[in-house]
Chain A
Amino acid sequence: DQQVKQNSPSLSVQEGRISILNCDYTNSMFDYFLWYKKYPAEGPTFLISISSIKDKNEDGRFTVFLNKSAKHLSLHIVPSQPGDSAVYFCAASTRGGADGLTFGKGTHLIIQP
């Protein structure tokens, strides 16, 4: 039973446009959400996070939106750059922080020139 779902295995976006990566979850006990970026053969790197008491968090080109009623969050990257091409993982925790994360399967973002 997948508690964190990223239903798009891949996404192709033109350079300069907005990339929107989506994530849905089923466990209503999740109270902290994170996005990670992963290049091939490397460990994931932390991008941005959001607590369940907020509905938006912004950091530079990255914004995460949380809709608790829909159990849905999304990552917006504006504008998209070639270096953004990577696999993006959505992760969630029930412990208010980064303990024992449950990950989605990832979305492969491809930025086209």
Chain B
Amino acid sequence: SQTIHQWPATLVQPVGSPLSLECTVEGTSNPNLYWYRQAAGRGLQLLFYSVGIGQISSEVPQNLSASRPQDRQFILSYKKLLLSDSGFYLCAWSVMTEAFFGQGTRLTVV
């Protein structure tokens, strides 16, 4: 069966520090991968999606980037965190008519 791993579950980071969140998928090949963010009082917002290794599409102009170094690995990176980057980050993968989410990372920037 397919599973998606996302870590860490919670993170507290100072303003201005860099950050990387990692997501890996098992049990499938060449999945479409996504990073979403849920900020307080807002819905889930698509940040990046990838249809293959090295292929990244950005949905929002932000101080962050994403990379897909391997087929089943998707990384979200910040160079310098802002207070407004606090939120709940979700990795997801999709096939046909379903999307599956990781457990999420709660990021608090202080």
State the A residues within 8 Å of B (CB). 4, 6, 32, 34, 36, 41-46, 49, 51, 89, 91, 96-106
Contact = CB atoms under 8 A, between A and B. Distances in A.
Contacts of A105: 41-43
Nearest to B36: A103
A32 B97 contact: yes
Nearest to B90: A43
Interface string B40-61: 0111111001000000000100
B43 A101 contact: no
B32 interface: yes
State the main secondary structure of chain B at its contact with A. strand
Q: Using C-beta atoms within 8 Å of the partner chain, give the interface range for chain B.
A: 20 to 34
* Most chain B beta-carbon contacts within 10 A, residue among A43, A45, A103: A43
10 contacts: A4-B43, A36-B101, A41-B9, A43-B102, A44-B44, A46-B98, A89-B43, A98-B97, A100-B34, A100-B46
B101 A102 contact: no
Contacts, number: 66
B101 A101 contact: no
A32 B59 CA distance: 19
A99 B9 CA distance: 25
B22 to A, nearest CB: 15
A46 B43 contact: no
Contact of A89 (B41, B44, B92, B95): B44
A61 to B, nearest CB: 19
A42 B34 contact: no
